[in-house]
Each structure stands twice: as structure tokens, then as C-alpha cells.
A and B are shown apart, each in its own frame.
Chain A
Amino acid sequence: MGAYEIDLFNHNLSVDPEFRAGILAGDEHAWSSVELTPDERAALENVDVAWLYAHGANDFLLHNLFRFGVGGVTIEHYVRGIKAHLTPHLTGAEPEPGHG
């Protein structure tokens, strides 16, 4: 498990309506309730799906970012990000083992 806190964030989006509402409202208390590194938080705030996936986030849980509209993410943005690992030069990062 390489991205426990990212996965926890995406899990909480699904099962905790209060957390979800806080994240969507930009509430700092909600954001700080998960122990994210600065890079992880930036990637979640920007819905940088390619970065999150490349750093070990569970792909099923990542879809909650789209499902609940974090950062206003569109399907085009999400698809481009999750498929970016197929062309790693677009992301600047190689996927970690276990994906694919």
C-alpha cells in the first residue's frame, strides 16, 4: 500500500457526507483531517489524476474524485489523467508496480 492517506481521502469522500461537503466547500478542517503531504494535497486539490495514480493511489477509489465533482473535475480531465500513464512522457512519472 503506497498511498494510504490518498486512498483514505477518496474513501471518506464516498462514505462521509460531512467530509465530502467540507472538501467541496474548501473547508480547511476537512482538508486537514487527513494527513496528506503537501504534494499529495496539491495533487488532490488540482485533481491531478496522473500524479495520484503514479504515486500508488487505488484506481477504484480515485473515481470518487469525479463522482463527487472535487475541483469541478470533468470526465475529459479525469480520463486524460488516468490514461496518461500509458504515455508516461506526459506525466513525468512512471507508474508504480501493481498498476495496469
Chain B
Amino acid sequence: MAEIVAAVGVPHTPAFPGLVARAGPGSETAQLYGQIRAHLTEADVLVMFDSDHLNTFFFDNLPALSVPLAESAAGTNDGTPGMNNRTVPLAAGLGAEVLAGLTEKGYYPSRTAKLSLDHSVMVPLHFLDENERMTLLPIYLNGLAPPLPGAARCLALGGDVRAIVEAWDSPLKVALVASGSFSLEVGGPRIADNAIAGVPDPEWVKHVSQRLKKGQTADLVAEATTDRMRAAGNVGGELLNWIALLGAVGDRPVEVLEQQAHLGHSYAAWTWS
């Protein structure tokens, strides 16, 4: 059976690849991703809870939850600068297991037979899989366009995904990843006065980070209503990806927790074994 070897959470700021290319490996952001990457040395497959940014999907048919079945996907599809655009191998077999397993448990995910990947997947991959050796399975949760999935449901989803992965008949080692910010407004009225994005609620970032640090998952889930997450920015629903990851992590302690509250996000890794 497959073995889960790590669980981590990271942001996916599209400017980071270019910023790190300019600032070098000693920059704060490069160091933070490096800390997280160190937890993934054993992993063959990344299962990533992610929220597409209306690039892979659109309003013509926007899923609350979707699982890819494709063998590969190209990225980035959204013109993100500083990226090595490439075709990423996907874990289609695991995707089929997750699709069937979640459907059986009453989640009713959509299936995506053909897709491309935006920065919300490719930026984490850029930093966490530098040698481009891993296979990927994104699990898409709608974090941008209300109505958003409920936090409690996402928590349960994470636990069920973990069980499906652990039952996967494969010798591969799997790491679970959450992609996203806690407070971020992109293009909306609460952006900064001189930038296309802003962090409306850095205190929420600190609060969420404290909940992660103390393992107060139930409290966080109770607090993470759609209104509360949206008050932290129009992409504040990306917190749902972290909550899904927490559902898989269970009561394991967080080992690394570094926040960039002024940028709206944190980096985290959980001890698995």
C-alpha cells in the first residue's frame, strides 16, 4: 500500500518565482520554501489541496470539488512570470481511487479528464519539486467564488482522502500539500493603494497560525465561515485547503510554522511518523 510520508502547507504567490530568481537562494522566501522542501525528500507523489483561480475552471461549469483523471497537465496556463512551463505527470490512478472513494462517501466530486494548471499549483511545485521528479494529484476545492464548501466538510474530506491514499495499492510514497493564503485580496476593493493585491487582515493570519501551532483545529473550523474567510480577502477561502490538510493530519503536531503575516500567509510542516 502507498505510504504517506509528509504533510505541508505553503503559499502560491505568483510573484515568488521571479522574486526568488532575483533575490537568490538566501532570500527569506527561498529559505522558507527550502525548509518545507526538506520534508519532502522521500515523496514520490504530491497530493495537493488547491483552489483554482478561475483559470483551469470558469463560471460555465465551476466545481466545488474536482479530481483530475488525466495522465498529465501543462502549466502554467495563466501567464505567471518566472516559471519553467512544463507538462507535469499526474497520478491518474490515484485520481481514480480518490474520485471513486469520495463519491462513495457522499462528496460527489466532478471528474476532470483534461486540464491545465495555474500558478496556484505550479508555484508550490516550482519550489517543492525543484528536480521535477514527482507526480502530482491536485484536489480542487472552490475557495474563490461563493458559495464555498463548508469548513467542517473540508476537514472531513481531508481525513477521507488520507484513508483513500493509505488504501491505494501502490509502493509509492505520498506527501500531502495545502496551497494558499489566509488573508489576501487580489484585484478587489481592499487591495493596497499602490499594488494589485493587499492583505486586509494580517491579524487573521496570526490568529490562524496560532491555531495551527496549538493544534486547535476544531476552533479554527468553527471560525472559518465563508463570511469570516471572505472578510480576510477575496481569496481568503484558500484556508479551506489548509483545513482539508488538517483533516488528514489529525492530531499530529506541527513541526515547522513560519508566518509572513504582512503577505497574508504561513508555511508549515507536520511531523508524520
Contacts and interface: CB of A to CB of B under 8 A. Distances in A.
Interface of A: 1, 4, 7-8, 11, 14-15, 17, 20, 53, 58-64, 66-68, 75-76, 78-79, 82-83, 85-86, 98-100
Interface of B: 53-55, 58-59, 77-79, 116, 118, 144-146, 186-189, 191-197, 234-235
B189 A58 contact: no
A58 B54 contact: yes
B78 A14 contact: yes
11 contacts: A11-B54, A15-B116, A59-B187, A59-B189, A60-B53, A60-B54, A62-B187, A63-B197, A66-B187, A66-B196, A68-B79
Contacts of B195: 75
B189 A67 contact: no
A2 to B, nearest CB: 11
Nearest to A4: B59
B59 A100 contact: no
Contacts of B53: 60
Contacts of B234: 59-60
Top-3 shortest CB links A-B: A63-B187, A59-B188, A14-B78
A76 B187 CA distance: 12
B59 to A, nearest CB: 6
B188 A60 contact: yes
Given A60-B187, A63-B186, A15 B55 contact: yes
A14 B189 contact: no
